Structure 1
Amino acid sequence: MRRLTMGDVDALVELDSDPEVMRFLSGGVATPLARVRDEQLPGLLAQYDRHPGLGRWAAHDRESGEFLGWFALDPSADGTEAELGYRLLRSAWGRGLATEACRALVRHAFDTVGVQRVWAETMTVNDRSRRVMAKAGLRYVRTFHLQWDDPIPGTEHGEVEYELRAREWAAPAQERPAARRAR
């Protein structure tokens, strides 16, 4: 993984152009090039200086160098919490990459950056993403419902939040989440 750059615009647009990748985010609607280039990516790049050790990283295949997607520890306003996130090309699904990278990012968030909480959210019906969160050591916290102007299929089941707190990460070995024991 490496930091994103403005040179990643085309890869990010391609990633967000796959309806299956975007299914639980936008109902399959692609993110327009102008939004990625002019809004999203500049905002993400600015986070690197404001919150060292947090942000988003481009993921590449170790052997081919192919862009696979991104992983994130998006910082809270004060940098004491980080939202775990990920988006991968369909060709990278089912290979354990999301779990491996998320476990590494959780470890990084607590051991290197020193955040107090790592959390993640997804739609209740997004079983694959929920499994990644659990395998990364996060635990289910709640189901909640948001109001959307343009709801997508599955919205009626709500959103779920998962988290892991620093005190849980620092717990004795027998009490640690699975991701911590699995180093």
Structure 2
Amino acid sequence: MEWYVETERLAMRQFTLADVELLVDLDSDVEVMRYLTGQPTPREQIADQDLPAILATYDSHPGLGKWAAYERTTGRFIGWFSLDPGLPGEAELGYRLRRDAWGFGYAGEGAIALVRKGFAELGLTRINAITMAVNTGSRKVMQKAGLRFVRLFHEHFDDPLPGTEHGEVEYEITR
């Protein structure tokens, strides 16, 4: 198997069509989805929309996209990390981990690896990340990866999640 990124404890690879159930399982945990949609993602959406979009990004933006993440010692799927395409020379950092992988430093380790790869190998000039202001765990990961607070902003949502009233935050790091 060809790994996109390897760290001391993690290995990341491209997703394939065979990975639908991994994503369904990940997105079925309401705590994992708490600051995203607040509810599980329907299997049909993952199979018919989300996964095809992930796979299309590999062709349209080589080197960027979402990467399935595994513990190196056990081979266990723990979630995904991403460098999603933005403006030319820019990407948005993202991560979604299974709840049983929380608290072990995997999010910071994976995020740091992608930031390094983005600048050293992909020639990016800016990497940003966005989350709800109340998502302190994700904000800590952004800071561990070297990103710095840029702004607090408010968006309108027809069906806002609890905490939306506190706004969204953006962090960034530049080369």
Task: Indicate the SS of the match to 2:53.
Answer: helix
1:14 aligns with 2:39: no
Deviation of the 1:135 alpha carbon: 0.5
1:25 aligns with 2:36: yes
Moved over 2 A (4+): none
CA distance in 1: counterparts of 2:51 and 2:125, whole angstroms: 26
Deviation of the 1:66 alpha carbon: 1.2
Deviation of the 1:79 alpha carbon: 4.0
TM-score by length of 1: 0.88
Deviation of the 1:139 alpha carbon: 0.2
CA distance in 2: counterparts of 1:130 and 1:30, whole angstroms: 22
1:133 aligns with 2:142: yes
Query: Is there any run of 5+ residues in structure 2 with no aligned partner, and where?
Result: 1-11
Which residue identity lines up with residue 130 of structure 1 in the other structure? Answer: R
Aligned length: 164
1:73 aligns with 2:83: yes
Which residue identity lines up with residue 10 of structure 1 in the other structure? Answer: E
Deviation of the 1:110 alpha carbon: 0.6
Alignment correspondent of 2:4: none
CA distance in 2: counterparts of 1:46 and 1:79, whole angstroms: 18
**What RMSD in Å do the two structures reach over aligned CA positions?**
0.8
Alignment correspondent of 2:49: 39
CA distance in 1: counterparts of 2:144 and 2:98, whole angstroms: 20
CA distance in 2: counterparts of 1:153 and 1:98, whole angstroms: 23
Which residue identity lines up with residue 25 of structure 1 in the other structure? Answer: L
Bigger CA radius of gyration = 1
- The within-5 A match list for 1:97-112 is 97-112=106-121
Match of 2:100 among 91, 96, 121: 91
More strand, by proportion: 2
1:155 aligns with 2:160: no
Deviation of the 1:65 alpha carbon: 1.0
Query: Is there any run of 5+ residues in structure 1 with no aligned partner, and where?
Result: 167-183
Deviation of the 1:81 alpha carbon: 0.8
Deviation of the 1:39 alpha carbon: 0.5
CA distance in 1: counterparts of 2:73 and 2:144, whole angstroms: 25
TM-score by length of 2: 0.92
Alignment correspondent of 2:14: 3
CA distance in 2: counterparts of 1:88 and 1:121, whole angstroms: 16
Which residue identity lines up with residue 85 of structure 1 in the other structure? Answer: G
